[in-house]
Each structure stands twice: as C-alpha cells, then as structure tokens.
Amino acid sequence: MATEPPRRAPPQPTGRPESGQRRAGDGEEAEPLRGSAREPSSASVAVGGGRRGLLNGCVPLSHQVAGHMYGKDKGGILQHPDGTVLKQLQPPPRGPREQEFYNKVYAADCCDSVLLELQKYLPKYFGSWSPPTAPNDLYLKLEDVTRKFDKPCIMDVKIGQKSYDPYASAEKIQQQVSKYPLMEEIGFLVLGMRVYHIHSDNYETQNQHYGRSLTKETIKDGMSRFFHNGYCLRKDAVAASIQKIEKILQWFESQEQLTFYASSLLFVYEGSCQLMATRLSDGTLAEKRVVPKGVLQDGDLLEYNNNIHVINSTENGKVEASVGKNLPQIYAFHKKAYSKRNHSQISLKAENLEQDNVWKSSTCISQEHLNGNVIPQLEKVFCHMPKEIKENADVEVRMIDFAHVFPSNTKDQGYIYGLKNLITVLQNILDN
C-alpha cells in the first residue's frame, strides 16, 4: 500500500443532508478542540486573519475533537452539503497510503471476507473528491458518523503500543514516545473528547493535553468523564461501547493481513435524553420521557425534566403513576427522606411546602412503589440501565485514521493489546 491508486468517481450517499449535521474528524495528530458552534454557511469564513472562499458550499467541521484543523494545517476536515465529510489528502506517502487503504477495502469487486467484515467498523467511503476550481486538491469523501445524533458525545482514542510506523525516523520515534510514554505500556491514548451536559445544555471539551496527563492510576477516572453527563454515569453507553470494541477485537484476532499504526477509535453516543423503556427490579415496566424545558414553581429553570410512567401491575392491583419535575430535586428529596427513615415506607403527603411544590402537581405513586428499593430503581431508570437493554444504547465505535496501515502476515499484536486494555478499563468503569 505504498503507491497512489487511480481515482474513481465517488458514489453519491443516500438521503438528503439534515440540518445541524455533526461528525468528529479523522486526524493523525490531535489539535486543540474547536467549539461546538457551527461555522457560518456563507461562501467564505475568516481564516488566518483574512477571508478565504470555501469549496462548493463546504464549511469547516465545527466540532472536530482531534486531527488536523482546517485553516490551521495543510490538511483539514470539511462538511459537504450532501451530508458527508471531506478529509484532505495528506502529503505523500501518508495521504496516498490512506486513499489506497480505503480503495482496497471498499473496492466494488472486493471478495475478501476479511476486508468485507472490516467495512462494518469503518466510516463508509464514497471515493475521492476535488473541487472544480482546484482539481489537484484531493479529498477523501467519508460518512458523517455523528449525523444521526442530536447531541453527540465524541471521543477519539488512538490505539496500539506504537504511534509511529516501522519507517519512522529516529527523530520521529523520539517525538512520539515523548508525547505519551505510557502508550507502549497501556496501548491507547485519549486524543480528545466532547461531552454533552444535560443540566447546562452545553458541551465540555478536553484536548490531547488532557489525555496525555492521564496515568495508569487516573486513566479509569479520566475516561469515565466521557460517559458522565453532569448528573450521572451513562453505564448504558459504557456497556454498548464495550460490546462494539469486542467485535472489533474479534476481527483483529482473526486476520493477519494488515497492521495499523497511529490509528484511532471514534466513540459517539447520544447525549440527549431519549424515550426509552426499562424494567424495575420488581418487574414494573417504566417508561422514561423527555419533556420541553420550563420553569419550576419556585422559579428554578427546569433543565432536565423526565417523566416516569409505571404501566405494569403489582400484587395489590394495577398501579399507574407519573413522576415529573426536576429529577435532581426529586432524587435529592427522596434520598434524604429515605436515609432518615431507614428503609421504611415513605408517604407522599406533603410534609413541607418545598417538597410539595416539587411533587404535588405531578406525582401519584402508591406507597407500594415508594419503599426502600426506590433509590436503586430510580438510578436504573435514569442512568444505570438493566443488562437486558444495555445493547440498545445509541452508540457508534468506528475505526478511523489509516495513513499508517501496512501489509502483514501476522496478527497486529500492538492493536490487540490496546483493545484488550481499553476493554478492561471500560469494564472497570462499568463494574464500579
């Protein structure tokens, strides 16, 4: 994979682009994170102190978490009006090598079962693209992995024990090793993350300096930050991520054709609250909904409003209930009362005006359901999903960045080592 293949006409992706399309970009090196605001869709934007016309309605990718940034580097990631993303080809040999990799994996006549299986774990490839006014500027046309998400939480993790390929100079090797000495020991590096916090309706971003600051002792807590939405740990997203990584690991353990250096996994999960159903520990089916923002009776902003609707029956007959208002206040009030009463049943009769303001207008739960088990039940409904629905979490894990992929006749032990350690860390997050 060292020579540049002939260009082919890119097939058009299906479907029309949606507004607010998002994707985290590919890139060999991590760069400072860009804010979450979208770039203007006009014909030009300010770049490097001047104004530079963009290509056929394309705009810089607005929420890239790692990689070469458009306007700052020779290469960059753009959003195409048709809903795909454009990755500018890097200088030889990296750019042609990455293009050849995509062309080989997505060749129309490909009949290699190993490569056909690999397609499941990559962004879809739509060939190469050049603007009519600059036919020598070549871009890779790729799927926007985050396009289907409303509030995408994105993390880029470089995988492998070495972030340099076998042809790297001594200077390049030293440069890469000095950036993150633990790469060889733990087999992965967090290049950047972007996490949606539901309580503030804002994103927290961390760049490559955050990832390089993590040690063996702090890597678990450092990565769990990606799965924390400001209220609680999204264990459903952690579990779904593990399942997807395990499938990628199975592919690596079954192939001896390719070796990957300085390649990454792109994690994406839905940060906003979606309609979902879950079964409580007593068998009750609960449905979780999101309702629009509003104002509480005490004037506090209602930033995260969930309703629980109990629609199953108990031993004492059918029970229907809905819990509205702000989850943190409900949870805090109930936990306080729960700790004081030592697992006794809790009456919903208003004991003070403050609690009544939160519960009164929207709560009608029988005492059978407000027993000592309600705290773990609420946790399961809102954050800690039962095992039977964890796989339903809206999560993507895709392999990206292929400028350093080489033919091989052995298993890619460095990548396998990194995947196994990453799974271990995520499993520790889930178990704890």
pLDDT of 343 reads: 47
Least confident among 204-208, 231-235, 293-297, 374-378 = 293-297
Residues 246 and 346 grouped into a single domain: no
pLDDT over 70 for what percent of the chain?
56
Show the tokens assigned to 379: 């946790």
397/14: higher pLDDT: 397
Q: Are residues 398 and 383 in the same domain?
A: no
**Whether residues 199 and 325 fall in one domain:** no
Closest CA to 13 of 77, 84, 102: 84
Assigned domain for 25 exists: no
Does one domain contain both 237 and 366?
no
- Tokens for 66, please give them: 């790692």
Identify the three-state secondary structure at position 108: coil
- Cα separations (Å) of 143 from 15, 29, 150, 227, 279? 12, 20, 16, 24, 35
pLDDT higher than 70, residue 36: no
Question: Is residue 10, in this structure, part of any structural domain at all?
Answer: no
Range of the domain at 142: 44-272+394-431
In a domain, 299, yes or no: yes
Is the pLDDT assigned to residue 160 strictly greater than 60?
yes
For 267-325, what is each residue's pLDDT tens digit? 999 999 754 444 455 555 554 444 333 333 333 333 333 333 333 334 444 433 344 44
Specify the pLDDT at position 332. 52
Instruction: State the pLDDT at residue 186.
Output: 97
**Judgement on whether residues 361 and 423 belong to the same structural domain of the protein:** no
- Residue type at 385? M
Indicate if 88 and 226 belong to the same structural domain. yes
Q: Distance between CA atoms of 96 and 296, rounded to whole angstroms?
A: 58
Letter for the amino acid at 83?
Answer: G
Asked if residue 8 belongs to a domain, the reply is no
Domain check: are 220 and 236 in the same one? Answer: yes
Tens of pLDDT, residues 42-52: 323 333 333 34
The mean pLDDT of 326-341, rounded to a whole number, is 50
SS3 of residue 413 by DSSP: helix
Dist. CA 39–CA 59, nearest whole Å: 7
pLDDT score recorded for residue 373: 54
Pair 247, 345 in one domain? no
Local confidence band at 23 (pLDDT 50, 70, 90 cut-offs) = very low
Query: DSSP 3-state assignment of 285?
Result: strand
Residues 357 and 369 in one domain: yes
CA–CA separation, 139 and 80 (whole Å): 11
Say if residue 2's pLDDT is above 90: no
Does 33 fall in a domain?
no
pLDDT bin (cut points 50, 70, 90) of residue 432 is confident
SS3 of the chain: helix, strand, coil, percent, to 5: 30, 25, 45
Mean pLDDT computed over 324-343: 49
Asked whether residue 33 carries a pLDDT value surpassing 50, the answer given is: no
H or E element, residue 127: strand 125-129
Both 58 and 153 in a single domain?
A: yes
Q: Do 137 and 232 sit in the same domain of this protein?
A: yes
Residue 68 placed within a domain: yes
- Tell whether 223 is covered by a domain: yes
Let me know whether 241 and 194 are in one domain. Answer: yes
Count: domains in the chain: 2
Length of the chain, in residues: 432
